[in-house]
Amino acid sequence: MTFRDGLRAARSRIIIIFGLLASIGIIVALEAVKLPNGMGSASASNGSLPQASAPQFTLERTADSQMMPAPSELSKEELEFARIAWQYFEKNYQAKTGLVNSVDGYPASTMWDTGSYLMGVISAYKLGVISKSVFTERMKSALGTLATLPLFENELPNKSYNTLTKEMANYDNSPAPRGIGWSAIDIGRLFVPLNIIIWNYPDFAGDVRLVMERLRFRNVVRDGTLYGAVVDDSNRTKYPQEGRLGYEEYAAKSYTLMGADVSIALRQDDYLHYETIDGIQVPTDSRSPDRYKAFNYVVSEPYILDGLEFGFDNISREFAYRVYSAQEKHFEKTQTLTAVSEDNIDAPPYFVYNTVYTGGKAWNCITDKGEDVSRFRSVSTKAVFGWYALYRTDYTKRLFDKIKTLYDPQKGWYSGLYEQTGQPNKAITCNTNAIVLEALAYKRFGAHLRLIR
């Protein structure tokens, strides 16, 4: 092989390395934001109007937010919990396509859930729950399918697919030959395991390259900002800005590792606003849903995933701890165990957002249309496992003890525990069981994407 042939063969890895080097500059810029010590009051005033691209902000740091426990061995009980979570992926695996159902028995999946599935496979392998041969077969099959999926307008993955046929689908899983658009946030979630595979399992680097080389990014990333795609009532494609504080920065991190300029999406301060919730200054997004046509959910999941996967940055570490602390303080105030996130539920409307704050209200539980569904407020299983792995405080251990029987040993973990009735939310999903595996792998090994320790 000549030098030129070798260079050509290695071009995919060279491109990835250059993308990672570019991302370092962005991450360094984020780390440079001034974060003085102490808790104190927040710097943003209540009622301030949205202000894009603010020059700088300061944040008084909570000392406890820096106290992250070191990795530790799992107990026999925790290893059994990981094996139970893997049962979901055994029962809902579609061998013909290599995809996994997003909800137990329902043959559909989004890119968010496909990313979660790949994280579940990686975590199960790291924990010794599955063998190398199973890991290899699952990875090869899933990546092969991702490299051949029909794309929305030949650019990016559709919002939903039928896991039996690989066809683009509507959210009700009916065929959608044209597609219904893409989610920039969901695609960002998919990029997380792809980055982990590149760094830790280079035998699959060629498979990842085949996935990535088909994708076109001209409409999803523009001027440092993330954009989704939707089909309007006139069958035209529109590109709305996508992401609110928490999810936006989480997704942007994986785009930057792929070499994209997402410098605006990475900023935590451009629409930052603090709400005092049970005595804690909680970071919220000042873009109101009535004006910006999207809800500013403050939930546990994006902060948990940031910690489990990236190991936090200088700012997300503080924000995550505040979101967690508000839930602990709410328990101290009400004696109601609190660990909230968005979740599937086992009754109509089947999906709800249990929030710390959204739509101008603390502890708001709503649908994606803003309908009040407070009767479905619940303790989220994935939030409990995530906060437990990250902090291991007395409160997270109390939460953990409360939910650790919420599973079907043949199907996996239930989504949570309803607050009003004390009954299990028996929805069983890919995302919940993947995060259970991720959290336990984090407890054992630390952050999935952190190379420098």
Q: What is the pLDDT along the chain (453 residues), one digit of tens a residue?
A: 444 454 454 554 544 444 444 444 444 444 444 443 333 333 333 333 344 444 345 667 776 766 789 999 999 999 999 999 999 999 999 999 999 999 999 999 999 999 999 999 999 999 999 999 999 999 999 999 999 999 999 999 999 999 999 999 999 999 999 999 999 999 999 999 999 999 999 999 999 999 999 999 999 999 999 999 999 999 999 999 999 999 999 999 999 999 999 999 999 888 999 999 999 999 999 988 877 677 889 999 999 999 999 999 999 999 999 999 999 999 999 999 999 999 999 999 999 999 999 989 999 999 999 999 999 999 999 999 999 999 999 999 999 999 999 999 999 999 999 999 999 999 999 999 999 999 999 999 999 998 766
For residue 295, give both structure tokens. Answer: 């809800």
Q: How far apart are CA 158 and CA 171, in angstroms?
A: 11
The sign of the torsion formed by the CA atoms of 303, 310, 35, 64 equals positive
Q: List C-alpha distances in Å: 293 to 26, 96, 222.
A: 29, 39, 20
In CATH, the number for domain 10-44+61-445 is 1.50.10.140
Q: For the stretch 49-75, what's the b/e string if a residue is b when 16 or more beta carbons lie within 10 angstroms of its beta carbon?
A: eeeeeeeebebebbeebeebeeeeebe
25 phi-psi bin (left φ>0, alpha ψ -120 to 50, beta other) = alpha
Break the chain into its structural domains and give their ranges: 10-44+61-445
Q: How far apart are CA 349 and CA 373, in angstroms?
A: 9
Q: How far apart are CA 324 and CA 395, in angstroms?
A: 10
User: Could you tell me the pTM of the whole model?
Assistant: 0.88
